Structure 1
Amino acid sequence: MAVRQRAVTTLPNLMRSLRKGSPKAAPNQPLPSLRRAFSLYDQINLIDNVPEDQLRFQGYTDTGFTVNGVQYEGSLLCIGNLLLSWTPKKFSEITPNCLSIFQLVRPIPEILILGCGRYIEPVNPELRQFIRSTGMKLEAIDSRNAASTYNILNEEGRIVAAALLPYGVSS
């Protein structure tokens, strides 16, 4: 608040000196900060400006997810704004074969967010190598955070994919 108060008191003097054309009116005095005292979220709220055709995770349960107001049970695979039911029911069932769609999809998403269920699981080297071979980066996190990360990246207009197990799944 002190910075804002100083800016409010200094700004009129700075404006007067600029109007007079006197560049020496405020020697060695730093310019006031005009930064607002609000967060970026207060200034730009992307959540309220999401297009209707864009996928948005709105909730999760132990057995599924709510996407754009529709409840889905089981695992989901999202590529951009395409939503598919996905066969793995637990983390150990995730193989290169169940992600083979990424050999066909164009453009290739820049990142695959892997929602591991309730807990983060280590990704086996074979699966990690397969994902790298498609040109994607991999982020393996719990499904709750995976859904949130997908929302943020998708809202930014980035080409992103998510493979999500329900939150109630544990190893």
Structure 2
Amino acid sequence: MAGRQRAVATLPNLMRSLRKDSSKAPNQPLPSLRRAFSLYDQINLIDNVPEDQLRFQGYTDTGFTVNRVQYEGSLLCVGNLLMSWAPKKFSEITPDSLSIFQLVRPIPEILILGCGRYIEPVDPEVRRFIRSIGIKLEAIDSRNASSTYNILNEEGRIVAAALLPYGVSS
């Protein structure tokens, strides 16, 4: 009980000393630990991009806007190379549809797989195939996949994306 009384008696002194210390330093708000923007919102935040660098600027249910050009259908991006991609739905994504990664050099460190509107579980055979090449695989919805591609590409990372249009769902 005596310990508690001593602690209660020192509390006002502690409060006074904290107030004195805080008056020396200006009141600055603490930085927020919460993200202010989603990855998709960041699509439009970074505008100083070299003209030869691919940059997703938007999406529709049937395609994407890349460097102010509208593309319909699925896309495959490796570094700054953009190609039409055959799969029209998630079930059509196979090791064969991703076989270009056996030829591409330098090997991308990550493949961002845009699943369409919803994240889908990736076939274990596709996962094994991508891993056997030495690439990490990240499967997310196509909206966030395009934003993630922009960010990693702008950081100078060797990144690839295989994207189904956002309107595709299982």
Q: What TM bracket, shorter-length normalisation?
A: 0.7 to 0.9
Q: 1:6 to 1:88 in 2, by over 3 A?
A: farther
- Kept in 1, the 8 Å contact 2:74–2:86? The answer is yes
What percent identity do the matched residue pairs reach?
Answer: 91
- Kept in 2, the 8 Å contact 1:11–1:32? The answer is no
Q: 1:10 to 1:39 in 2, by over 3 A?
A: farther
Q: 1:16 to 1:68 in 2, by over 3 A?
A: farther
> Which digits, 9 at most, give the CA deviation of each residue in 1:45-89, with x for residues without a partner?
971221000000000000000000000000000000000000000
Structure 2 residue runs of 5 or longer lacking an equivalent are none
- Kept in 1, the 8 Å contact 2:44–2:57? The answer is no
Which deviates more, 42-51 or 144-153? Answer: 42-51
Q: TM-score, with normalisation over the residues of structure 1?
A: 0.74
Which deviates more, 39-48 or 92-101? Answer: 39-48
Supply the distance in 1 between the matched residues of 2:2 and 2:44 (Cα, whole angstroms): 27
Q: TM-score, with normalisation over the residues of structure 2?
A: 0.75
Supply the distance in 1 between the matched residues of 2:47 and 2:4 (Cα, whole angstroms): 29
Give the match's secondary structure for 1:77.
strand
Q: 1:30 to 1:137 in 2, by over 3 A?
A: closer
- Kept in 2, the 8 Å contact 1:77–1:164? The answer is yes
* RMSD after superposition: 9.0
Supply the distance in 2 between the matched residues of 1:9 and 1:144 (Cα, whole angstroms): 58
Structure 1 residue runs of 5 or longer lacking an equivalent are none
Give the match's secondary structure for 2:148.
helix
Q: 1:31 to 1:76 in 2, by over 3 A?
A: closer
